[in-house]
Structures are given as structure tokens and as C-alpha cells.
Amino acid sequence: MDFSVDDAARERIEALRAFGREHVRPAGLEADREGRPIPVGHAYFDAAMQHGYGRTRWGREDADAGASNTRMALLLAEEFAYWDRGVMIANPGPSLPEQSVIGMGTDEQKERYLGPFVAPDRPRWACFAMTEPGAGSDAAAIQTRARKDGDGWILNGAKCFIGSASRSDWILVQATLDPTKGRAAQRAFFVEQGTPGLGPFKTEKKMGLKAYESASFSLTDVRVPAANLLGGEARYERKAGFKAAMQTFNAGRPVIAANAVGIGRAALDEAIRFAREHDLLGRDRVRDRIEAMARKVRMARLVCLRAGQLADLRRANIQEASMSKALAATVALESASLGLELLGAAGARGDALIEKLYRDAKAMDIVEGTGQIQRMIIARQLVGLPRN
């Protein structure tokens, strides 16, 4: 298994490292101390835009080439999260729904919804809303209803924990035509900000990752035109083939795993820095903790890169993707915990980086499929059962 990267890739990681040191870590610490997401007009977003964030991959040959290199994307995801994973998600851009729009959107939808992200005049956001107060892991249980009404659709329901929702130009809302029919009855709709019946938005209070907004909101008789159904009506006649294609490889969960590796590595470096400054490196028990952190972080990175390599080869990686996420999220938490132990009282203070990393790390086991769900997927695959 060759996980080496070329000089151009190394340069991109170095550039991100400098950006992370100068802009990302300070913005993340500030948001954490103030207990609120980075405000929309914050100077961080100007710096992020200058660094190239906020733009869509749609129609960009250079970006498309980069996207096919999952390993590269994973190393960048690790590096960003090393400096602050919450800030990474706060970045402007079409984020989570971008891939769905590129893969399933009609030409008009790509133009209308991704067009403004080609050369954005200001920081712009978009988001994907799946989770509901009664439907998290079990996404088939969502209750937000979509009802055909003349030439449009009426949406009613409630969503929670949706990243950057109140600042998004549009939200891709997952809804069901019939809650008794599971995933087959689900559709996604573009809901533009300001549409009557959308909101109000309430920012959730989170234990970590405070730099980005997670919001709950409701949809009350929200009317959208027929053109806002992702992919248009025609898409649903050829859905089965698409679903099969999506299930063969997965690039999303390894990104969360890479983020977790970044957090684990940050905890390791913080522990070494502290031990060096306090002349503790001569103690066996201090070195034991450092060794355990380093070993586990490296192990998690290897599993994560293997999942990425399989995605690059367009080979099935469901097991590896789930293994990478289940493992790396646990390792990040363990690494931050060992770091906290090593720093002792100094680490437990509310303004210590290590305690922030501990709070940030926990969320990596929850988002995009909890640890239990990943372990269930792995076990079902191992014994030859379908995913669910």
C-alpha cells in the first residue's frame, strides 16, 4: 500500500499549515471562549476566501482532479482539523449538499444553486437538513412531509443540528412523501432563505465545535416550486441504479475519520509541548502516554488512508470507511483524554487547548453515523448481511 503524496500535495498541506497557525486556531479558540459560532462578518471569513475556501468544485477541472484523489483530501482534512475542526465546518461554501447537487441536480439546479459559488462576491453558505428531533441515526424515520400542491410542493416539519442553517443561501431539505414507506418515499428539496414559513432558527448549545453554527428550525407550509425537487421528477424512475452506485464506495466517513486523526494529533503535540516545558519527558509514565497516543493516532491514519485509497480505486470500501470512522473517533477521544491526564490540573482549566480538544473529539463519534452505527455496518458486512 503506497500512501505517499507528490511535491504539489506536500506544498498544499504546508500552505494549509501556515493558514491554520495564523487564522484557523485563533478563530476556533475565540469562538470557543465566547461560546458562539464565528459571526458572519468576522475577518476570518475574508481570510478563508482569500485562501480559496467558499468556492464550488462544480465546473472546475483542477478541483475535480483533486476530488478524485481522496487520499489528498483526507490529508488536508486531517491538517485542517489539527488546527480546528469546528472552523473547518464553519468555512463558507456549498459544503455537505454540493456533491448531491453535482451528482443528482438538473443543469438548471446546478446553475441556480452552485452558480453563485463559482466566484462568490462574499462568503456564502448552503447546508443539508436531514436530522430531526425524532430521527437521527434512523434517517428512514424522518417525518418532514412533502405534499404535491398544484405545480409545487408544500413542506411541513422540523429539523435540528443543521450546520450553518441560518446563514445559508439555501437549504437542501430531506422530506418524505409518505412516512410509512421509508427511504423510497424520501425526496430532497431546495428551500431558499427567506421563503415564507422557513424558521425561526435557534442556535443549539454544543459541548464542542463551537466555531460553527448548528441550528434547529421548522418548516410551516413552506411552498417551493416543482423545479426545487432535487433532480426533478424524472430522476426517480432511474433511482435504483443510482443507489447501487452510491453504495459501492464511500468518501464521506473517512473525512470525519481524518478530522478525528487531526484532533488526536493536536492532542499529542499539546501533550509533548507541555511535558517538554515542564521537564517531564524523563518520566516513564509520561512517555508511556505519549507513545500510546502516537501509536493509536498513526494506526487510525493508516486505516483512514486505506479507505481513501479504495475510494480512489473505485473499489468497495464500506467496511474500511466505517472502520476508519469508528476507530479514529475513539482514538481522538482517547488521545485527548491521555493528554488531559498528562497535563493534570493545568489541562482541566477552562482555557486549556487540551480540554477543548476533548470536547471537540466527542462529536466525531456522533456526526455522520455514530460509532455504534458504524460497528453495526461493519458487523453486518462481515457476516454477509445487507447494510440495513
Ligand X SMILES: Cc1cc2nc3c(=O)[nH]c(=O)nc-3n(C[C@H](O)[C@H](O)[C@H](O)COP(=O)(O)OP(=O)(O)OC[C@H]3O[C@@H](n4cnc5c(N)ncnc54)[C@H](O)[C@@H]3O)c2cc1C
C-beta nearest to ligand X: residue = 136
Rounded Cα gap, residues 192 and 126, in angstroms: 9
Which of 306, 298, 336, 333 has the alpha carbon at shortest distance from 322? 306
CB of 372 to ligand X, least distance (A): 3
Q: In whole angstroms, what is the distance from residue 145 CA to residue 196 CA? A: 16
In the chain, the amino acid numbered 15 is: A
Residues that bind ligand X (CB under 6 A): 127-131, 136-137, 161-163, 206, 209, 214, 363, 366-367, 370, 372-373, 376
Cα 212 to Cα 100: distance, rounded to the nearest angstrom: 22
Whether the upstream peptide bond of residue 200 has omega within 30° of 0, thus cis, is yes
Minimum CB separation from ligand X for residue 14, in Å? 29
The one catalytic residue in 30, 111, 192, 368 is 368
205, amino acid identity: K
Provide the H-helix boundaries in 156-283.
239-248, 252-277
Nearer to ligand X, 85 or 301 (CB): 85
Instruction: Indicate if 368 belongs to the active site.
Output: yes
Q: How far is the CB of 163 from ligand X (least distance, A)?
A: 3
Cα 359 to chain centroid, rounded: 16
Strand partners, 135: 132
Q: Which is nearer to ligand X, 135 or 342 (CB)?
A: 135
Q: 232 or 252: whose CB is closer to ligand X?
A: 252
User: What's the maximum distance between 2 C-alpha atoms anywhere in the chain?
Assistant: 75
Using the minimum distance from each CB to ligand X, give the nearer residue, 136 or 182: 136
Grid cell locating 197: 414559513
35 or 150: whose CB is closer to ligand X? 35
Q: Give the number of other Cβ atoms within 10 Å of residue 42's Cβ.
A: 17
The catalytic residue positions are 368
